């Protein structure tokens, strides 16, 4: 059996869309909500199986990766998160790049030499790498309206991935992947699919609620927002963080969402003008991880809230603040 293991956000979905449109393969799809990243624990590959892993941290999946290799599977691993120590194994091909301006969809685009460029652009937009997306898009010679449409699509796919459970989402990420795969192109999906309209309407409704909130803590360097334990807030936490970062590029942002257990789901965005430190900050707390420009904590204990806000403020008013001239 072959396995396609991928993050349920725009980057993971668009990375796999490129691969399977360029290199069709029957496989079992393994994905989940964006924060469900321990995906290799869900499979038991055997000798001769082909396993593709996209946009989930190798460090968080090391046990599953080593087990798959030991059992004789071949693994193709593409990612842009902290990998830990990459195993040296003849059956592992790893394309890992932690640069803050790189995403998995862009890495797959390089691997395929631009074979499915519209989906690479969509994935980069979804990962809030707007400059990267626009650079990738140049060979397509798109009109401004079509480029905006790909940015919308990437944003909405990414929006759909957030939430602690599939029930919070508009689409199961596997279902959304299949609908996107059936489209002739990314722009074709925008123009013809009712799923695009469903995502668009949900996104704007949820973002309208988020944009009415005031920060619980704000300075020139940082801002912290608190969202309630409601389905719309769980869905919007990541894309709202991206929107805040884009609107205030010299400020770091943290969006905390209250959870049913009394703890917090945390999304951190480094300043767009200096994409550093987000993963390092979040990894100070259990269940934290990510990359330099964007990271998160899946379950911040309630009694650690003050410690987190303090560490966040300290990080971005000193070490990672850009000198002002």
Per DSSP, 168 falls in state G
Tallying the residues shown for the chain, one arrives at 325
pLDDT of residue 254: 97
Fold of 3-202: inorganic pyrophosphatase (n-terminal core) (3.90.1640)
DSSP 3-state of 120: helix
- Biggest CA–CA distance in the chain, Å, is 59
Rounded CA-CA distance 51/43 in Å is: 10
What residues form DSSP beta bridges with 296?
267, 289
- Residues with Cβ within 8 Å of 144's Cβ and at least 6 positions away in sequence, in order, are none
Rounded CA-CA distance 191/149 in Å is: 9
pLDDT of residue 323: 41
pLDDT of residue 324: 40
pLDDT of residue 319: 56
Q: Do 3-202 and 214-319 fold alike per CATH?
A: no
Rounded CA-CA distance 19/6 in Å is: 12
pLDDT of residue 238: 87
Which tokens in the block code for residue 9? Answer: 């956000």
Look at the alpha carbons of 101, 223, 157, 59 in this order and tell me if their dihedral is positive or negative.
positive
Fold of 214-319: Diaminopimelate Epimerase; Chain A, domain 1 (3.10.310)
Gap between the terminal Cα atoms of the chain: 58
Residue 82: closest CA among 293, 270, 291, 288:
291
Work out the number of other CB atoms within 10 angstroms of the CB of residue 317: 14
> Angle at Cα 267 formed by Cα 189 and Cα 213, nearest 5°?
90
User: How many Å separate Cα 120 from the centre of its chain?
Assistant: 14
Residue by residue, pLDDT tens for the chain (325 residues) are 999 999 999 999 999 999 999 999 999 999 999 888 899 999 999 999 999 999 999 999 999 999 999 999 999 999 999 999 999 999 999 999 999 999 999 999 999 999 999 999 999 999 999 999 999 999 999 999 999 999 999 999 999 998 888 999 999 999 999 999 999 999 999 999 999 999 999 999 999 999 999 999 999 999 999 999 999 999 998 899 999 999 999 999 999 999 999 999 999 999 999 999 999 999 999 999 998 999 999 999 999 999 999 999 999 986 555 444 3
Write down the pTM of the prediction: 0.88
Residue with tokens 């994935």: 123
Rounded CA-CA distance 189/58 in Å is: 31
Work out the number of other CB atoms within 10 angstroms of the CB of residue 141: 8
DSSP 3-state of 182: helix
pLDDT of residue 132: 98
Work out the number of other CB atoms within 10 angstroms of the CB of residue 29: 15
DSSP 3-state of 93: strand
Q: Alpha-carbon Rg of the chain, whole angstroms?
A: 19
């Amino acid at each position: 059996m072959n396995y396609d293991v991928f993050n349920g956000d725009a980057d993971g979905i668009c990375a796999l869309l490129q691969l399977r449109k360029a290199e069709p393969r029957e496989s079992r799809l393994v994905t989940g909500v964006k924060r469900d990243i321990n995906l290799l624990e869900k499979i038991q590959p055997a000798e001769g199986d082909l396993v593709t892993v996209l946009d989930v941290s190798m460090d968080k999946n090391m046990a599953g990766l080593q087990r798959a290799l030991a059992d004789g599977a071949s693994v193709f691993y593409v990612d842009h998160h902290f990998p830990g120590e990459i195993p040296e194994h003849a059956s592992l091909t790893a394309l890992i790049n932690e640069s803050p301006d790189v995403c998995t969809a862009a890495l797959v685009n390089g691997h395929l030499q631009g074979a499915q460029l519209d989906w690479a652009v969509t994935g980069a937009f979804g990962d809030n790498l707007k400059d990267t997306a626009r650079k990738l898009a140049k060979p397509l010679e798109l009109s401004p309206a079509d480029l905006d449409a790909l940015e919308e699509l990437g944003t909405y796919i990414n929006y759909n991935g957030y939430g602690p459970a599939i029930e919070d989402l508009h689409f199961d990420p596997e279902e959304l992947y299949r609908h996107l795969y059936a489209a002739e192109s990314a722009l074709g999906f925008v123009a013809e699919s009712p799923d695009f309209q469903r995502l668009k309407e949900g996104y704007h409704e949820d973002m309208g609620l988020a944009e009415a909130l005031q920060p619980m803590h704000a300075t020139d360097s940082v801002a912290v927002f608190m969202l309630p334990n409601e389905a719309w807030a769980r869905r919007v936490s990541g894309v709202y963080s991206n929107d805040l970062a884009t609107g205030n590029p010299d400020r770091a942002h943290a969006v905390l969402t209250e959870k049913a257990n009394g703890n917090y789901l945390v999304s951190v965005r480094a300043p767009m003008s200096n994409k550093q430190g987000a993963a390092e900050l979040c990894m100070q707390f259990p269940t934290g991880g990510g990359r330099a420009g964007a990271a998160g904590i899946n379950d911040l204990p309630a009694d650690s809230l003050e410690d987190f806000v303090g560490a966040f403020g300290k990080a971005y008013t000193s070490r990672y603040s850009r000198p002002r001239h």
